Amino acid sequence: MKTVSPRVKLKDYLAENLPNLDRGLLPSRAKLLGGIAVLRLRPELEAHRFRIGELTRRFYKVKAVYLIRGVEGVERRPVLELLSGERAGEIVHREYGCAFKLDPEELMFCLGNSFERLRLAALVGDGEVVVDMFAGVGQFTIPMAVLANPRKIFSIEINPKAYRYLLENVKLNGVEDRVQPILGDCREIASEKLKGVADRVVMGYFWGTMKALPAALKALKPEGGIIHFHELARRGGEEELVEEVMEKVEELGYSARLLGWRKVKSYSRTRNHVVADILAAKRKA
């Protein structure tokens, strides 16, 4: 076993220790989350995954290395296989001075959204009321509450497991005074209990964000507000998707002004994760 120099990359380290494998197939990096590493592997490396996991654990000096095979269900449960080390249990991931506790075998935490979390927090104005419709464990809520100065964030989550961590993370970050977690379906809660309260609505979800758009619009204050609409777009089809969302907003009886859109990350070979910031207000009858 070769020793690791701090300048060596994971791919180089794996290639040195596994000289029989095609270097081009080896992963360049793993995602590091609260003391564990999460790897994606090309299918050709399936038979070598445990050895790669073991080497990755040594390389990063982490407690455990997992292989991610995908995410499933409405609740976005990660499908992980432990390759090396001990089961992680609960971890605390830290980012921009915020702490996020979660069980990575049960719940998603996407490192690729890291800049978007910071960008969003920087947009929140003093005294704003925000509705976070797909709150998860507080991925967007916590940075907005910690780094900005909102009056209130209503954070809605349907999965009781994620909701439990959302509650914990609110306490862990000392933002109980400004965050109100709510367990339930955001499509009902935003359009009924939170009707007309929000300056800003965050829709951090894929595969069906559109279905929750009518509820997001209803949650906006009568004078209007901003919606951050997340979805997956076909590569090259990002503007088309944004156009479609704008048309839908208009169709629902609201004026829509596009403040901007950005690619958050590449999601797969064919799709990008996109967010559109839309200023919307109910049209007068």
Ligand X SMILES: C[S@@+](CC[C@H](N)C(=O)[O-])C[C@H]1O[C@@H](n2cnc3c(N)ncnc32)[C@H](O)[C@@H]1O
Strands (E), the chain: 31-33, 36-39, 64-72, 77-85, 91-95, 98-102, 129-132, 152-157, 179-183, 200-203, 225-234, 254-266, 271-282
H or E stretch covering 167? helix 160-172
Do 102 and 93 form a contact (C-beta atoms < 8 A)?
Answer: yes
- Minimum CB separation of residue 132 from ligand X in Å reads 7
**Interface with ligand X, residue 75, by CB under 6 A:** yes
| Amino acid at residue number 122 | A
**Interface with ligand X, residue 108, by CB under 6 A:** yes
- For ligand X, give the closer residue by CB, 14 or 156: 156
Kindly identify the residues of this chain, within the stretch 188-207, that bind ligand X according to CB under 6 A.
204-205
Distance of CA 134 to the CA centre of its chain: 10
Query: Candidates 29-37, 56-64, 93-101, 180-188 — which segment interacts with ligand X by CB under 6 A?
Result: 180-188
- For ligand X, give the closer residue by CB, 22 or 32: 32
- Minimum CB separation of residue 37 from ligand X in Å reads 20
| Amino acid at residue number 48 | H
What is the largest distance, in Å, between two alpha-carbon atoms of the chain? 73
Strand pairing of 31-33 and 36-39? antiparallel
User: Whole-angstrom Cα distance, residue 225 to residue 209?
Assistant: 18
Do 21 and 55 form a contact (C-beta atoms < 8 A)?
Answer: no
- Position of minimal CB gap to ligand X: 204
- Minimum CB separation of residue 121 from ligand X in Å reads 13
Q: Judging by beta carbons within 10 Å of its beta carbon (0-12, 13-18, 19+), is residue 285 exposed, middle or buried?
A: exposed
User: Whole-angstrom Cα distance, residue 227 to residue 217?
Assistant: 8
**Interface with ligand X, residue 139, by CB under 6 A:** yes
Binder of ligand X out of 29, 49, 63, 76 (CB under 6 A)? 76
Binder of ligand X out of 186, 219, 249, 256 (CB under 6 A)? 186
Query: Candidates 42-50, 120-128, 146-154, 181-189 — which segment interacts with ligand X by CB under 6 A?
Result: 181-189
**Interface with ligand X, residue 157, by CB under 6 A:** yes
**Interface with ligand X, residue 210, by CB under 6 A:** no
Query: Candidates 6-14, 50-58, 156-164, 218-226 — which segment interacts with ligand X by CB under 6 A?
Result: 156-164
Distance of CA 193 to the CA centre of its chain: 25
Query: Candidates 6-14, 48-56, 60-68, 132-140 — which segment interacts with ligand X by CB under 6 A?
Result: 132-140
Kindly identify the residues of this chain, within the stretch 221-260, that bind ligand X according to CB under 6 A.
none
CA–CA–CA angle 57, 60, 65 (5° rounding): 35
How many residues of this chain interact with ligand X, rule: CB under 6 A? 20
Binder of ligand X out of 13, 140, 154, 254 (CB under 6 A)? 140
- Minimum CB separation of residue 174 from ligand X in Å reads 21
**Interface with ligand X, residue 272, by CB under 6 A:** no
What are the residues binding ligand X (CB under 6 A)?
74-76, 108, 110, 113, 134, 136, 139-140, 156-159, 162, 185-187, 204-205
